[in-house]
Amino acid sequence: FGRATSTHAAVATSLVDAGGIDADAAAQAVVEGLLLARYRYGVLKKDAAMAPLERLALVTPAAKAERATTGARRGVVLARSASLARDLANTPPGHLTASRLAELAVTVGEASGLTVEVFDAADLRDMGCGGLLGVNAGSQEPPRLVKLSYRPKRARGHLAMVGKGVMYDSGGISLKPTDPMHAAMKMDMSGAAAVLSSMAALAGLGCRADVTGYLLCTDNMPSGSAMKLGDVLTVHGGTTVEVHNTDAEGRLLLADGLALAAEETPDAIVDIATLTGACLVALGPGVAGVLGNEQTWVEQVTAAATRTDEPVWQLPLEKRRYRKLLDSDIADVKNVGGPYGGAITAAVFLSEFVGDVPWAHLDIAGPMKVDTDEAWRSKGATGFGTRLLVDLAMSFTPPAATNGDGANRTST
């Protein structure tokens, strides 16, 4: 419907009035789907691919008009947040550096009722964020850590979100092997884009949870100063990490972000990252992987994914079997665990930095982009995870405490 009307500036449709579908939900679905499907990244083109949508009329019985209006407004907010994430991920890497993203986060955050703090390289050294600094070592562009805080009155719980923001990932010294891989790596900051864009929607939707977001931003480049295989980094909190592959960089900066988030003892943490090609191989391009240390929390994430049509599939956090693959002879842990089970070993690595806080990890390497139009996903960056995170925050319930024997925990 959205693409079929793409040449029209004014569109009208009747809302479905059958099968018990609520006018609120129907209006949201129509508006959200229409705007998402019409999306195109066209800021660098002379001619727009689609006519700007100036007017959308939804026809519904008068008795349902108020609820339909509420749903339509919600659909606009959600579609705009996903479109912001798409814009950020589609932007060429020469146009969007870590420092530029931090500037945009300040502008977007302050306009959205968020408190925004930006930390530069000197701050990161003082904070002991050796993972982010290590990844940044080969770059001429300085790193940034952005902290976003949303604090409503009478909050019901505290949720932390951590997003991987690798603005361009060459692989570093472990250089990626093909041009198509390199061409897509401007999207390696899709996790950070999803966190920023989702948090920008919270005030407008009346979210009742405290939410703190962390954007870990840098590019990963080869140079004479780049981190090397065999280097040992000390991440926030003091854990030492031996680098066995510089293209396994996302987990290094996420270690800093997760450790910082856990220090504030939120009720739960979710991280989102284009982390492993292994997850793409395992689940294909349409489904994200989810792993975590608390099953009730993973189930909240999965439920939000189902409601937003941003599908996830749970993989096992097999620490008992796989943690030994990360053993290092000279450091506390190494950053890769061998050729097999890469999505799982990456998550096992991340679990080292969350302590006892309920945590879920979203590996969105597969659905970060599509090569052709598909349902509501337009060719290019999908903004995957943005609406999922909004739904998760809006419906957030602090995960139930375990009974002391790990009954709610996934495999350790």
pLDDT tens-digit readout, 244-284: 999 999 999 999 999 999 999 999 999 999 999 999 999 99
Report how far residue 80's alpha carbon sits from residue 259's, in angstroms, rounded to the nearest whole number. 31
Q: What is the dihedral of CA 46, 49, 55, 57, to 10 degrees?
A: 180
Is the pLDDT assigned to residue 200 strictly greater than 70? yes
Q: Positive or negative CA dihedral for 89, 94, 97, 100?
A: negative
Contact 58, 102 (CB under 8 A): no
Report how far residue 246's alpha carbon sits from residue 233's, in angstroms, rounded to the nearest whole number. 12
Place of tokens 């659909």: 75
Report how far residue 313's alpha carbon sits from residue 302's, in angstroms, rounded to the nearest whole number. 8
Average pLDDT over residues 140-156: 97
Q: Choose, from 251, 323, 334, 377, the residue flagged as catalytic.
A: 251
Q: What's residue 1's pLDDT?
A: 56
Q: For CATH 3.40.630.10, list the domain ranges present in the chain.
A: 91-394
**Which structure tokens are listed for 127?**
């904070």
Residues 91-394, CATH architecture: 3-Layer(aba) Sandwich (3.40)
C-alpha 311 chain-centroid distance:
14
- Residue 53 in 3-state DSSP? coil
Q: What's residue 16's pLDDT?
A: 67
For the chain, count helices (H), then strands (E): 14, 15
**Which structure tokens are listed for 386?**
């943005």
Q: What's residue 17's pLDDT?
A: 65
Contact 222, 138 (CB under 8 A): yes
**Which structure tokens are listed for 151?**
């604090």
The answer to whether residue 176 is catalytic is yes
Average pLDDT over residues 106-120: 98
pLDDT band at 407 (very low <50, low <70, confident <90, very high): very low
Q: Choose, from 176, 228, 307, 409, the residue flagged as catalytic.
A: 176
Report how far residue 397's alpha carbon sits from residue 201's, in angstroms, rounded to the nearest whole number. 19
Q: What's residue 66's pLDDT?
A: 84
pLDDT band at 21 (very low <50, low <70, confident <90, very high): confident
What is the total residue count of the chain?
412
Contact 121, 136 (CB under 8 A): yes
> What mean pLDDT, rounded, does the chain reach?
92
pLDDT band at 333 (very low <50, low <70, confident <90, very high): very high
| Model pTM above 0.85 | yes
Report how far residue 271's alpha carbon sits from residue 300's, in angstroms, rounded to the nearest whole number. 14
Q: What's residue 65's pLDDT?
A: 82
* Exposed / middle / buried, residue 200 (Cβ in 10 Å: 0-12, 13-18, 19+): buried
Q: What amino acid is encoded at 261 in this protein? A: A
Report how far residue 258's alpha carbon sits from residue 255's, in angstroms, rounded to the nearest whole number. 5
